[in-house]
Amino acid sequence: MKGDYQELVDEISGLLGVPATLENRDFELIAFGAHDSDDDSAMDPVRTRSILTRKSTTAVRSWFEGFGITRAAGPVRIPAAPEAGVLRGRICLPVRHRGVVLGYVWLLDSRPGPTAAQLASAMDVTDRIGALLADEERAGADLSREFRAVLTAERGWQYDMALAALRTALGPAAEGLHTVVCVAPWPSGEAPSVRTVAGASALCTVPWQGPRGPAAQRPSAVPGLRASTGAAPSGPGDPGLGAAASPARTGKGARGGRGPDEGPRTVVDTAGDGRADGRADGRALAVLVRLRAADVLAPALGAAGRLAEAAGPGAAGIALPRRGTADLDASWREAASAARAVLAEPRRGPVADWASIGPYRLLTGLPPGLSPDPAAATLLAPAHAELARTAEVFLDCAGQAGRAATALGIHRQTLYYRLSRVERLTGLDLDDGEDRLLLHMALKTARL
């Protein structure tokens, strides 16, 4: 069972009275102690970058390793070097296990500094950290492989075998409270080390088929299209469907007379890359995260936010908490559904949990490549992107014409005129609840 590195780092900080930072042997941040001093020099560029980016540069790594920290069995004092961005001296406590260095605990040096007895006590704590890192290193590859097998296997003997192997690798932690995080799309390159993701029990990459990036880049209701005002392609500041939509929960709208279409007209153009439907085959990152309580998602939210930012830009979804690992396949479907909902409507993200994605809880369960409903197919054509956008915002606003017109930035009579065109194109009656529901779901499905 994995230990809590943060508690061990805090223990060292308490023993020595200075903030401590734990990095693995690749100089990737694992945990750090709080710094509550008013002395700004303590937060020199090297320490600040390590905390903010969770890693150090190759130059910084080479400079510190030049002091023999990879071979040292005890504390190593390293002097300040302003020219290298190190404004304060360091004490490095090598983290070793059976003679092999697995990481480093970094302390800001001061005078007179910690005593030999204090440093000896701190080195005892690094022995415990080393044992935990060694356990994870032994299990890391198998956990990744078996976690991937569980998520990609269909229910049956293969799933059961993969699940049994994962449970064995996790040990007693397998019966604990977990959730699953999906980050998609995950960029090419290696997945992060499980040791660098706080609270993670296992992680792996899995095949992913979905949008290339946030739907804010494709504001049309038609996947693969983007909207712009006038003849020129849209820029980053053009409001898309997700931006214009106003979430509503109550109210019933009333429709009146029709007027001329006074709003700005929209021109659409194809995305011009990837598949014809604007989707891309790639990878997603799956993370199994430990939880202390079912109603406290903070560990998963923190990990998902950092990983989504690292995916740049990416979306993250979080499954419902579950005890044990028997239903990891269901957890993965929920996490992937939540990530897809964020990609479809960025206003929900960049991180969303499955419980919060509304209709996408059902829509993401539809078979992939499903053809649009015949009633909405014409409306979803590129030529009618502005009408589709109008209809979706109107339905998002629970049929409240005033709110929808405000969200769209158009006159109410313009809204009525557009809605009458929507009815003619679809053959649906927007005063009928079932017709509204059908059109609303068809528009949401088109985003996926």
pLDDT in tens, 160-172: 888 888 888 887 8
Q: Which residue has the higher pLDDT, 75 or 216?
A: 75
Q: How far apart are CA 146 and CA 163, in angstroms?
A: 7
Measured torsion, CA atoms of residues 279, 285, 288, 294, in degrees rounded to the nearest 10:
-50
pLDDT in tens, 213-267: 444 333 333 332 233 223 222 232 222 223 323 333 233 333 333 333 333 322 2
Beta bridge partners of residue 92, listed in sequence order: 76, 106
Pick from 241-255, 394-408, 421-435: least confident: 241-255
Instruction: Look at residue 298 and tell me whether its pLDDT is greater than 60.
Output: yes
- Which pLDDT value is given to residue 321? 95
- Which pLDDT value is given to residue 258? 35
List the structure tokens of 273.
């890359």
Domain 234-265+366-447 in CATH 3.30.70? The answer is no
What integer is the mean pLDDT of 38-58?
A: 55
Q: CB–CB of 413/362 below 8 Å?
A: no
Q: Please, which residues have CB within 8 angstroms of residue 86's CB and are 6 or more apart in sequence?
A: 44, 46, 63, 78, 80
List the structure tokens of 328.
């990891």
Whether pTM exceeds 0.75: no
Q: CB–CB of 305/351 below 8 Å?
A: yes
| Alpha-carbon radius of gyration of the chain | 27
Q: CB–CB of 288/202 below 8 Å?
A: yes
E-strand ranges in 253-350 read 266-270, 279-290, 315-318, 322-323
Q: How far apart are CA 66 and CA 63, in angstroms?
A: 5
Q: Which residue has the higher pLDDT, 50 or 101?
A: 101
| Bridge-based pairing state of the strands 90-97 and 100-108 | antiparallel
Q: CB–CB of 386/417 below 8 Å?
A: no
What integer is the mean pLDDT of 403-428?
A: 89
Alpha helices (H) in 153-214, listed in sequence order: 157-170
Nearest to 245 by CA among 404, 416, 28, 360: 404
Q: Which residue has the higher pLDDT, 89 or 269?
A: 89
Nearest to 385 by CA among 237, 215, 226: 226
| 325-to-143, 151, 167, 312 alpha-carbon distances in Å | 13, 11, 7, 30
Domain locations in the chain as residue ranges: 5-134, 234-265+366-447
Q: Is the dihedral of CA 445, 374, 401, 421 positive or negative?
A: positive
Running DSSP on this structure, what letter comes out for residue 348?
A: G
Q: Which residue has the higher pLDDT, 179 or 136?
A: 179
Pick from 70-74, 190-194, 334-338: least confident: 190-194
pLDDT in tens, 432-448: 888 888 888 888 888 77
What integer is the mean pLDDT of 316-336?
A: 93
- pLDDT interval class at 105 (50, 70, 90): very high
Percent of residues, the chain, with pLDDT higher than 70: 75
The size of the chain, in residues, is 448
Instruction: Look at residue 300 and tell me whether its pLDDT is greater than 80.
Output: yes
Helix axes 116-152, 157-170, angle to 10 degrees: 180
Q: Which residue has the higher pLDDT, 63 or 340?
A: 340
Q: CB–CB of 211/279 below 8 Å?
A: yes
Q: CB–CB of 255/419 below 8 Å?
A: yes
Which long-range contacts does 420-429 make (Cβ < 8 Å, 24+ apart)?
420/258, 421/387, 422/379, 422/387, 422/390, 422/391, 425/378, 425/379, 425/384, 425/387, 426/375, 426/376, 426/378, 426/379, 427/375, 428/375
- pLDDT interval class at 398 (50, 70, 90): confident
| CATH architecture assignment, domain 5-134 | 2-Layer Sandwich (3.30)
- Which pLDDT value is given to residue 45? 55
Instruction: Look at residue 348 and tell me whether its pLDDT is greater than 80.
Output: yes
- Which pLDDT value is given to residue 430? 87
Pick from 63-72, 162-171, 192-201, 415-424: least confident: 192-201
Residue 423 host element (H or E): helix 412-426
Pick from 22-31, 63-72, 140-149, 306-315: least confident: 140-149
Q: CB–CB of 221/392 below 8 Å?
A: yes
